Amino acid sequence: MIDMEVKDKPTIVQAPEGEKGEGFFLTSMSAAVGLARKNSLWPLPFATSCCGIEFMATMGSHYDFARFGAERVSFSARQADLLMVMGTIAKKMAPVLKQVYTQMAEPRWVMAVGACASSGGIFDTYSVLQGIDKVIPVDVYVPGCPPRPEQIIDGLMKIQELVANESIRRRYSPEYKELLASYGIE
Ligand code: SF4
């Protein structure tokens, strides 16, 4: 007979900072939106080589990416808000990566998974892009060749921190527009 005892009870997401009293809870719009966004990220895996295999392991039942509300992997840029770049990016591939990024709606976040996506890795050659931040802005870099699934999960949790604490006005700020402009993105 299968033992149905639940040893690890699910945890409840912490409420954002705010004022509470009997029958009410007050917080800011940014905190409430950040809480919802943080726990419902839709990743777009842009996997070109070995690091992509680590991502497959991360999605499997053992590491269970779904725990973070991020199990809905999207292969359409328009229905994704977290671009996960995993693998070596050849310079010929760079415009494609940039196009995928620009097709994503705001707000969007980017994770460079592994040494190749972060810096070109061991491929210090004329044909390999020496880090995806040469063509698009990156929010979190995950080191390793390849990174273990635990590191990818750690990267996701760092992204969640950024998402939870981001002001809903940030994407309209001159600083953000300036950042995109520095990449030639309107
Ligand atoms: S960082 Fe290492 S494991 Fe990842 S794509 Fe590059 S060579 Fe492969």
CATH code at position 68: 3.40.50.12280
Q: Which residues line ligand 1 (CB under 6 A)?
A: 49-51, 87-88, 114-116, 121, 145-146
Domain that holds residue 132: 43-163+176-182
Contacts 24+ apart (CB under 8 A), 30-39: 30/166, 30/167, 30/168, 30/169, 31/164, 33/168, 34/163, 34/164, 34/165, 34/166, 34/168, 35/164, 37/81, 37/107, 37/163, 37/164, 38/160, 38/163, 38/164, 39/13, 39/68, 39/69, 39/160
In a domain, 115, yes or no: yes
Q: Report the predicted TM-score, pTM, of the whole model to 2 decimal places.
A: 0.89
Best mutation site among 116, 132, 142, 148 for ligand 1, i.e. most ligand atoms within 8 A of its Cβ?
A: 116
Whether residue 17 is contained in a domain is answered as no
In a domain, 1, yes or no: no
Q: Identify whether 125 is part of a domain.
A: yes
Q: Whose CA is nearest to atom 8 of ligand 1?
A: 50
Residue 23 structure tokens: 């029958």
- What are the pLDDT tens digits along the chain (186 aa)? 445 455 667 777 788 888 888 888 898 999 999 999 999 999 999 999 999 999 999 999 999 999 999 989 999 999 999 999 999 999 999 999 999 999 999 999 999 999 999 999 999 999 999 999 999 999 999 999 999 999 999 999 999 999 999 999 999 999 999 999 999 998
Q: Tell me how far the alpha carbon of residue 103 lies from the centroid of ligand 1, in angstroms.
A: 26
pLDDT of residue 1: 45
**Cβ-Cβ contacts under 8 Å for 150 (sequence gap 6 or more):** 63
Q: How far is the CA of 124 from the centre of ligand 1 (A)?
A: 13
In a domain, 79, yes or no: yes
In a domain, 35, yes or no: no
Domain count, the chain: 1
CA of 121 to the centre of ligand 1 (A): 7
CA distances from 137 to 2, 26, 79 (A): 49, 34, 19
Ligand 1 pocket test, pick from 51, 53, 119 with the greatest ligand atom count within 8 Å of Cβ, gives 51
- Residue 75 placed within a domain: yes
Cβ pair 86, 52 in contact under 8 A: yes
Axis-axis angle for helices 149-165, 50-59 (nearest 10): 80
β-bridge partners, 113: 86, 142
Residue 89 included in any domain = yes
Ligand 1 pocket mutation, candidates 48, 128, 145, criterion most atoms within 8 A of CB: 145
